[in-house]
Amino acid sequence: MSSLNSALPSLDRLPGDQDGLLQEAARRATRYLDGLDQRPVFPAPEAIAGLQAFDEALPPGPTDPRATLALLDAAGSPATVASAGRRYFGFVIGGALPATVAASWLATVWDQNAGLFVASPVATHLEAVGLRWLTDVLGLPAGVGVGFVTGGTMANFGGLAAARHAVLKGVGWDVEAHGLFGAPPITVIVGEEVHVSLLKALNFLGLGRERVHRVPVDGQGRMRAEALPPITGPTIVCIQAGNVNTGAFDPADAICRVAHEAGAWVHVDGAFGLWAAAAPGRAHLAAGVAQADSWATDAHKWLNVPYDSGLVFCRRSEDLRAALTHSPAAYLHEGAPREPMECTPELSRRARGVEVWAALRSLGRAGLADLIERCCRHAARFAEGLAAAGYEVLNQVELNQVLVSFGDAARTQRVIQAVQQAGVCWMGSTIWQGRTAMRISVSSAATTEADVELSLQSIVQAAARS
Ligand SMILES: *Cc1c(COP(=O)(O)O)cnc(C)c1O
């Protein structure tokens, strides 16, 4: 070691910390976070105009790394959306827990390729620990396989790839080797409220975004189990745990029973709703979900880890590995350790399992349950406060999503714009079963009761003016 050390330049000259660059980044990052809740949630027009500072010619040669960081902070930080702050309720966007941000910094310095054990023992090991803990808190069957992917879209892709493998293998067709040309047809069943990312994944897999059988839904967007078509032949049934508008769950129990009796595969898109299983007070919403065959969820939504981070689980890990490995012979080795790249579309990738591990370790079982429960309570308070002010809540608020109408479509849009301009909080719009609505999604651990009250005030004032 000592001879190696003497061959290296002095510590302050190592790449990455020349002239205290990382200290400088930490100082700027801290200042950013400290100011986050005092500024408008969406950047001011001047801040967006200020992005022109980046429109320079490519420098002809090297420049001081500190100057690059300074420009990024000066022109970039003001033009960010404060979704890391406490009052961002747009789309379904989680915050980032302190332990996950800090762990992410360290893991970035490590610069590991998490695709395989020999490239990163630590990343591979932490994925294995994460799998054990996730299986537990999400109530999934023992022995499930996992892939650490970029997000819900690729998690749906992974789960559906495993499904495609298994249902065609069942009729003697090797889809990985021979593709879909000449293959027996697969029936894909989705709910009328299927998320667009799942259709996109079907498109990637050659199953076709429009070649699906759509099952009617109820007023909350839940698939009607009794409306499932008769199932014969290779079939994949896609259900939702958490509708992106209402937060509602498809009746997993009934659908899994019918589908499994007919030999079909059930895939669950649980991008955020799957986390309900981790909170004792909400777990009943996800009843039956564990009977499925594959599950997609996001860690960057409700687990509050930095982007990008999704998880695909598969009841039989062999199906996931068969669908995603590049070397069909390798994964069959008896007792071979799990190689991360066999469970994801990517080979080389960042060690995103580090942040998942850090979130679970820093929260613990009770902390995770409390994070989920608190977001649901905040959502209920939003619904109660807006209903009391005379506005119509369009969904049953059982999870973290709230849909509100302020009258006709034009007025609802005006209110949403006025709220966004006021800058106290940020909510977007959606169309729910033909009606324009404000969609409120409470998905950040940072949001407090006081933030909800402040945001309610801002919405009610905006509605009074619109
Ligand atoms: C967000 C979401 C997705 C897509 O996840 P990404 O991480 O954005 O790719 C899929 N399904 C549902 C229900 C979602 O809410």
pLDDT over 60 at 218, yes or no: yes
With a 6 Å cutoff on the Cβ, whether 298 touches ligand 1 is yes
Please answer whether residues 112 and 350 qualify as being in contact, where contact means their C-beta atoms are separated by less than 8 angstroms.
yes
Is ligand 1 within 6 A of the CB of residue 195? yes
Residue 220 contacts residue 246 (beta carbons within 8 Å): yes
Shortest-distance Cα residue to atom 5 of ligand 1? 152
Q: Are the C-beta atoms of 346 and 116 separated by less than 8 Å?
A: no
Which pair of structure tokens corresponds to residue 46? 């001047």
Which of 19-28, 106-115, 208-217, 431-440 has the least mean pLDDT? 19-28
Of 380, 379, 382, nearest to 391 by C-alpha is 382
Q: Are 279 and 372 in contact (CB under 8 A)?
A: yes
Q: What angle separates helix 353-388 from helix 449-465, to the nearest 10 degrees?
A: 50
How confident is the prediction for the chain on average, in pLDDT? 95
Distance set, CA 175 to CA 180, 339, 357, 437 (Å): 6, 22, 34, 43
Q: Residue 151 Cα, ligand 1 centroid: separation in angstroms? A: 7
Domain map (residue ranges) of the chain? 102-359
Which are the contacts of 26, defined by CB distance < 8 A and separation ≥ 6? 105
CA 355 to CA 128: how far, in whole Å?
13
pLDDT, position 16: 54
How far is 94 from 303, CA to CA, in rounded Å? 7
The contacts of residue 319 (CB under 8 Å, 6+ apart) are 145, 162, 163, 165, 166, 293, 294
Atom of ligand 1 nearest to the CA of 308: 7
Residue 164 to residue 50: CA distance in whole angstroms: 48
Task: Give me ligand 1 centre to Cα 19, in Å.
Answer: 41
**Cα separation of 333 and 438, whole Å?**
52
The mean per-residue pLDDT over the stretch 24-29 comes to 96
Residue nearest to atom 2 of ligand 1 (CA): 271
Q: Is 270 in the pocket of ligand 1 (CB under 6 A)?
A: no
Does domain 102-359 sit in CATH 1.25.50.10?
no
Q: Answer yes or no: is the C-beta of 151 below 6 A from any ligand 1 atom.
A: yes
Q: Which atom of ligand 1 is found nearest the CA of 240?
A: 13
Q: Which residue has the tokens 């199932």?
A: 231
**Nearest CA owner, ligand 1 atom 14:** 271
Distance CA 296, CA 301 (A): 12
Going by pLDDT thresholds of 50, 70 and 90, the confidence category of residue 328 is confident
- For residue 152, the ligand 1 atom closest to its alpha carbon is 5
Check pocket membership of 191 for ligand 1, CB cut-off 6 A: no
Band (10; pLDDT cuts 50, 70, 90): very low
Mutate to test the pocket of ligand 1, among 217, 222, 239, 244 (most ligand atoms within 8 A of CB): 244
The answer to whether the CB of 272 is under 6 A from ligand 1 is yes
**Contact at 8 Å (CB) between 406 and 466?**
yes
CB 192 within 8 A of CB 245: no
For the CA of 195, the nearest atom of ligand 1:
11
Of residues 332 and 209, more confidence is placed in 209
Q: Per-residue pLDDT tens for 129-173?
A: 999 999 999 999 999 999 999 999 999 999 999 999 999 999 999
* Radius of gyration of the chain from its Cα atoms, rounded to whole angstroms: 24
On the question of pLDDT at 353 being above 70, the answer is yes
In this structure, the residue with its CA closest to atom 3 of ligand 1 is 152
Rounded Cα distance, 438 and 411, in Å: 11
Measured by CA distance, the residue closest to atom 6 of ligand 1 is 152
CA 414-415-419 angle, 5° bins: 120
The helices-and-strands tally (H runs, E runs) of the chain is 14, 11
Q: Give dist(CA 383, CA 376) in Å, integer.
A: 11
Give the pLDDT confidence score for residue 121 in this predicted structure: 96
The pLDDT, as a whole number, for residue 273 is 98
Nearest atom, ligand 1, residue 242 CA: 13
Q: How many CB atoms lie within 10 A of CB 99?
A: 18
* 359 CB within 6 A, ligand 1: no
Q: Tokens standing for 251?
A: 């009746």
Q: In this model, does residue 209 exceed pLDDT 70?
A: yes
Take residue 294 and report the two structure tokens written for it. Answer: 């594959």
**Phi, psi torsion values for 99, nearest 5 degrees:** -65, -30
With beta carbons less than 8 A apart as the criterion, state whether 163 and 256 touch: no
pTM: 0.95
Pick 364 or 327 by higher pLDDT. 364
Buried b (16+ CB within 10 A) or exposed e, 363-399: beeeebbebbbbbbebbbbbbebbeeeebebbbebbb
Q: Are strands 310-314 and 145-149 parallel, antiparallel or unpaired?
A: antiparallel
pLDDT at 337: 75
In tens, the pLDDT along 257-301 reads 999 999 999 999 999 999 999 999 999 999 999 999 999 999 999
More confident residue, 12 or 80: 80
Q: What is the pLDDT of residues 389-445, one digit of tens each?
A: 999 999 999 999 999 999 999 999 999 999 999 999 999 999 999 999 999 999 999
3-state secondary structure of 373: helix
Give 268 Cα–ligand 1 centroid separation in angstroms.
12
